[in-house]
């Protein structure tokens, strides 16, 4: 069984629609187009998902909407608060799948870290989500829904926040739904989160990165680089065999950046693998001529991850070498480690295979 049960199959899910599409849907239902704007505001600005509560619509319109539409919204299965204020939400989707979203306060701004897929196909060797494999893509409504739910639960509907697409999944492996989600989020009748306050983090799916370069409104870009050479990166990030380090750097050089903006390069530091002074110098050489800033992320170690975190001293040295080469470098303070909400630690157990896959495994083996 997929997303819907048969009795709701003909219902239009308004949570999935950009405003123009919502207007079209209203027209098709024989409703006035301008009413769609009101409903869009209720859903995305006010966070109201029950037609009953949409008090500026007539009783009759509310009844019509309730009979023909729904507004799918993830539900909170679990909340975990870290000692540093980071809060991890386990969210349940309409089909029973679960994802994690994280609220990170005071960085110095407020940040929501969102998932774009259930699991991830990229299988980076130091990432726990990668171990799950890909279960399915999230829909645009499910990506936006994470923001609606977190903003509601944290009473932040009218607070400014940033968004990072750094939760479960590879956003550029779910391109269309991710871009559609950013459009819904940016709408000034809804949450009005400008793409300038969104950072999309990618392992470097190059054809999709080229598509992103042609979008009219672009988020900030972060590239998960993690190594200065193909020899090292190839061992860590399987997709590097397809899109290698120099291809990525060339694509970044072509990427149309606004004045004064830069691409963030994320670099997970793994003891004895990619943390030598030579690696730092090679990285500096690689990034010379790229409008870049580097974000070093000392590994968040976990059982099942075959790497270790370097000492603080090694991290400092690595950062120092980059800074000496006139690169902008920051070291990511790990947040929410006590509740496993930190980078690469998002994983939902027991759903890494769909029911169909589980049956197939039983019948045919892996």
Give the active site residues: 100, 343
Give me the least distance between CB of 203 and ligand SAH, in Å please.
4
Q: Which is nearer to ligand SAH, 304 or 365 (CB)?
A: 304
Rounded to a whole number of angstroms, the minimum distance from the CB of residue 129 to ligand SAH is 7
Residues 6+ apart with CB under 8 A from 107: 335
**Least spacing, CB of residue 92 vs ligand SAH, in Å:** 21
Which CB sits closer to ligand SAH, 127 or 138? 127
Our CB check for ligand SAH shows the closer of 16 and 170 to be: 170
Please, what is the minimum distance in Å from the beta carbon of residue 260 to ligand SAH? 23
Closest residue to ligand SAH: CB criterion:
344
Closest C-alpha to 51, from 36, 34, 33, 63:
63
356: CB partners within 8 A, 6+ apart: none
Query: What is the closest distance, in whole angstroms, from the C-beta atom of residue 48 to ligand SAH in the complex?
Result: 31
Q: What share of the chain is helix, strand, coil (3-state, %, to 5)?
A: 40, 20, 45
Residue 302 C-beta: closest distance to ligand SAH, Å: 6
Return the number of the residue (91 or 299) whose C-beta is nearest ligand SAH: 299
Per-residue exposure over 161-192, b if at least 16 CB sit within 10 Å of its own CB, e if not: bbbbbbbbbbbbbbbebbbbbbbbbbbeebbe
Nearer to ligand SAH, 40 or 265 (CB): 265
Q: Are 304 and 128 within 8 A, CB to CB?
A: yes
What are the residues facing 92 on neighbouring strands? 75, 98
Question: What is the nearest approach in angstroms of ligand SAH to the Cβ of residue 338?
Answer: 15
Q: Which residues of 71-107 are buried (b: 16+ CB within 10 A; e: fewer)?
A: bbbbeeeeebebebebbbbbbebbeebbbbbbbbbee
Which parts of this chain interact with ligand SAH (CB under 6 A)? 122, 124, 126-127, 166, 170, 201-203, 224, 266, 268, 297, 299-300, 305, 343-344
Round to whole Å and give the CA distance between 160 and 111: 9
Gap between the terminal Cα atoms of the chain = 22
Strands 198-202 and 220-224: parallel
Torsion of CA 125, 355, 5, 176, to 10 degrees: 30
293 forms beta bridges with 264
Whichever of 94 and 203 has its CB closer to ligand SAH, that residue is 203
Q: Whose Cβ is closer to ligand SAH: residue 66's or residue 301's?
A: 301
3-state secondary structure of 117: strand
**Residues contacting residue 261 through CB under 8 Å, at least 6 positions apart:** 220, 291
Burial of 117 (0-12, 13-18, 19+ CB in 10 A): buried
> Shortest CA distance to 344 belongs to which of 273, 270, 268?
268
């Amino acid at each position: 069984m997929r997303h819907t049960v048969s009795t709701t199959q003909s219902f239009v899910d308004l949570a999935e629609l950009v405003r123009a599409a919502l207007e079209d849907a209203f027209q098709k239902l024989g409703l006035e187009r301008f009413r769609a704007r009101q409903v869009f505001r209720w859903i995305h600005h006010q966070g109201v998902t029950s037609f009953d509560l949409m008090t500026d619509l007539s009783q009759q319109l509310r009844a019509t909407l309730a009979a023909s539409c729904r507004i799918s919204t993830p539900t909170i299965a679990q909340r975990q608060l870290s000692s540093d204020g980071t809060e991890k939400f386990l969210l349940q989707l309409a089909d029973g799948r679960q994802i994690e979203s994280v609220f990170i306060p005071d960085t110095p701004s407020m940040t929501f870290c969102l998932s774009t897929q259930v699991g991830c196909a990229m299988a980076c060797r130091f990432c726990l989500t990668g171990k799950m494999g890909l279960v399915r893509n999230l829909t645009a409504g499910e990506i936006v829904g994470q923001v609606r739910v977190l903003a509601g639960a944290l009473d932040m509907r009218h607070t400014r926040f940033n968004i990072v697409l750094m939760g479960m999944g590879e956003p550029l492996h779910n391109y269309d739904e991710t871009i559609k989600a950013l459009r819904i989020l940016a709408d000034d009748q809804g949450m009005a989160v400008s793409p300038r306050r969104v950072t999309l983090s990618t392992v470097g799916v190059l054809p999709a990165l080229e598509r992103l370069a042609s979008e009219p409104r672009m988020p900030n870009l972060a590239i998960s680089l993690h190594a200065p050479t193909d020899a090292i990166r190839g061992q860590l990030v399987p997709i590097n065999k397809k899109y290698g380090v120099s291809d990525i750097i060339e694509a970044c050089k072509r990427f149309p950046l606004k004045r004064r903006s830069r691409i963030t390069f994320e670099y997970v530091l793994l003891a004895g693998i990619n943390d030598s002074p030579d690696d730092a110098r090679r990285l500096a050489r690689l990034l010379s001529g790229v409008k870049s800033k580097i974000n070093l992320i000392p590994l968040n170690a976990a059982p099942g991850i075959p790497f270790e975190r370097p000492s603080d001293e090694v991290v400092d040295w690595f950062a120092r070498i980059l800074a000496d080469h006139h690169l902008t470098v920051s070291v990511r303070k790990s947040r929410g480690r006590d509740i496993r909400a930190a980078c690469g630690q998002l994983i939902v157990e027991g759903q890494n295979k769909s029911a169909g896959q589980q049956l197939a495994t039983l019948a045919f083996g892996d």
